[in-house]
Amino acid sequence: MSLVTTHVLDTARGRPAAGVPVRLDARDDDWSTIAAATTDDDGRVRDLGPATLPEGVYRLVFDTESYLGEGCFLPEVTVAFRVTDPAAHHHVPVLLSPYAYSTYRGS
22 neighbors 60 (Cβ within 8 angstroms)? yes
Domain assignment present for residue 107? The answer is no
Domain assignment present for residue 85? The answer is yes
50 neighbors 3 (Cβ within 8 angstroms)? yes
Domain assignment present for residue 17? The answer is yes
pLDDT above 80 for 7: yes
Region 59-77: mean pLDDT is: 98
CATH code, 45: 2.60.40.180
pLDDT single digits (tens) 69-100? 999 999 999 999 999 998 899 999 999 999 99
Task: Write out the residue range of the structural domain in which residue 35 sits.
Answer: 4-101
Average pLDDT, the chain: 96
pTM of the entire predicted model? 0.95
57 neighbors 50 (Cβ within 8 angstroms)? no
Domain assignment present for residue 18? The answer is yes
Per the structure, the count of domains in the chain is 1
Domain assignment present for residue 106? The answer is no
Within a 13 Å sphere around the CA of 65, how many CA atoms are in the beta-carbon half?
8
Within a 13 Å sphere around the CA of 77, how many CA atoms are in the beta-carbon half?
27
Q: So what's the pLDDT on residue 2?
A: 87
User: Strands 4-10, 44-48: parallel, antiparallel or unpaired by DSSP?
Assistant: antiparallel
